[in-house]
Amino acid sequence: MKLKVTVKRQKDPQSPPYEQSFLYQGEGATVAGIIRKINQRENLTDINGEPAEKIGWECGCMLRKCGACAMIINGRPSLACSQYIEADGELFLAPLSKFPVVRDLIVDREHIFKSLYKAALWLDENMGYDEEHHAARFSSSNCIMCGCCLEVCPEFSLGEDNYSGAVLPVNSYRIADREEEPQHLKQISKQYQKAFFSGCGQSLSCNKICPCNLPVEELIVKSNAINVWKRRKNKK
């Protein structure tokens, strides 16, 4: 396989971005595998033979479990460790655009973790098992907080309003569905309405983008039902 790999690079948060291309020749591989192969070269040079710094990117698992390798791959947010390339052509890699760039393809996703912390998503007591709703709660727990759904959300930006995007309803469901303590449930619902429901334009751009194939629309509907419309059919 012969591939022209172009990377949108940035030396540090203050430096201007630029593009640099590399030639990759080898077997089909994941995007993560291709970046690693390029970075393993001694005296790395770009496609023009000019000396180049190793490409900055990050990974924690290589198994679609940590979200660290999220980036824009040929125009679509995805995970480098689970996107397979096997045909000649061009590959364009860029950092997620909605988060501050740390270096090259590495971004700072702290906003996601902070917004989930603020949402008070913990249980005051052990949760019971409920077979009927277990599948949805299991889906909710599989969010790896990669940020791909925020990248395509027309309402999400790192502004003053602290809008959470779909990450909040996806994760809120499994907690709000089980919490029995009324004051805590009230706190969860209040923050949910402030950080998600009042800002969501319901475009559902987030629905088909999740690299973990989570049923994002279904979880938004279920979280709205509990947190906004106070419908909790499955209450113990």
| Contacting residues toward ligand FES, per CB under 6 A | 59-62, 64-69, 79, 81
Q: Which stretch binds ligand SF4 (CB under 6 A): 11-19, 47-55, 102-110, 201-209?
A: 201-209
Minimum distance of ligand FES from residue 169's CB (angstroms): 21
> Whose structure tokens read 């040079």?
45
Minimum distance of ligand FES from residue 139's CB (angstroms): 17
Give φ, ψ of 114 to 5 degrees. Answer: -65, -40
> Whose structure tokens read 């791909």?
148
159 binds ligand SF4 (CB under 6 A): no
Q: What DSSP assignment string belongs to 119-186?
A: TT---SSPPPP-HHHHHHHHHHHT-----HHHHT-TT--SSTT---TTHHHHHHHHHHTT---HHHHH
Which amino acid appears at position 191 of this protein?
Answer: Q
Asked if residue 52 lies in contact with residue 46, where contact means CB atoms within 8 angstroms, the answer is yes
Among 24, 93, 165, 191, binds ligand SF4 (CB under 6 A): 165
> Whose structure tokens read 């997620």?
96
Among 166, 175, 176, 226, binds ligand SF4 (CB under 6 A): 166
C-beta closer to ligand FES: residue 3 or 81:
81
145 binds ligand SF4 (CB under 6 A): yes
**CA neighbours closer than 13 Å in the CB half-sphere of residue 207:** 10
Minimum distance of ligand SF4 from residue 56's CB (angstroms): 21
Minimum distance of ligand FES from residue 220's CB (angstroms): 23
Report the length, in residues, of the chain.
Answer: 236
Residues that bind ligand SF4 (CB under 6 A): 143-149, 153-156, 165-167, 170, 200-206, 210, 212, 214, 216
